[in-house]
Amino acid sequence: MYTLYFKPHACSLATHTILNLLDVPFQTVNKDTVSNYNDLNPTGLVPVVKDGERMVREGVAVILYILDRHKNNLLPESGEARETALESMLFANATMHPAYGRLFFISENVSDDNVKLDALNAAAESINQLWQVVESRLGEAPFLGGATMSPADILLTVYSRWGQFFPVDIVMGAKTTRMIEQVMAHDAFKTALAAQ
């Protein structure tokens, strides 16, 4: 059985959703309840998945570890479709996630209110440019994965919820908004969110 270490509303919500979709046995542990969490992950970050004695860290590696072990229609097994899906996952995890991370960093580390607001707005502007990239990549398909939901769609949906915590305007296109609404309406996402 897997153990998912999570933090409520954090990026680990995507891993939680994927575990629900696969219908595999797992338990969840809030990282803030683990006194020696940094022994599990020296970065102090979630998600971490424990599988027996094996610890897997880093969001994309965790998702690939799980998907590679269970039959699924989230990630193509090979070929160009898989390469594109991986590109989209890394766009989400390595480009969009850090862009949102700037909002948290500025909020926690800039004390002057005017400087903070300017910096938050500048960070929001770069996030909005990335949402435009998502909009054009969606094309005519409902998901970045095409006709069906992919890990990238789930990751982006989790990040999209973070804008509400800051006094900035996050702007998404109509197709992006529809993709996010569809992921949020999925039972696997709703169940994960409720459980956290």
Cβ contact 95:133 at 8 Å: no
Give the span between the Cα atoms of 76 and 86, in whole angstroms: 10
User: Site residues for ligand GSH, window 27-56 (CB under 6 A)?
Assistant: 44-47
Task: Tell me how long the chain is.
Answer: 196
Question: CA dist 94 to 25, 29, 98, 99, 155, Å?
Answer: 28, 25, 6, 9, 11
Name the residue nearer to ligand GSH (CB basis): 28 or 142: 28
Residue with Cβ nearer ligand GSH (47 or 145): 47
Give SS3 for 145: coil
Nearer to ligand GSH, 45 or 127 (CB): 45
Residue, CB closest to ligand GSH: 59
In this complex, which beta carbon is closest to ligand GSH, that of residue 14 or of residue 144? 14
Measured from the CB of residue 147, what is the shortest distance to ligand GSH in angstroms? Answer: 27
CB of 158 to ligand GSH, least distance (A): 8
The answer to whether 59 touches 42, Cβ cutoff 8 Å, is: no
Stretch that binds ligand GSH, among 6-14, 80-88, 108-116, 141-149 (CB under 6 A): 6-14
Task: Extract the tokens encoding 111.
Answer: 């004390």
Using alpha carbons, select from 62, 21, 24 the residue that is nearest to residue 40. 62
Name the segment binding ligand GSH (CB under 6 A); options: 3-11, 79-87, 163-171, 175-183: 3-11
Please give the angle made by the CA atoms of 107, 154 and 81, to the nearest 5 degrees. Answer: 130
Residues 58-97 within binding reach of ligand GSH (CB under 6 A): 58-59, 93
CB of 18 to ligand GSH, least distance (A): 13
Binding site for ligand GSH (CB under 6 A): 7, 10-11, 44-47, 58-59, 93
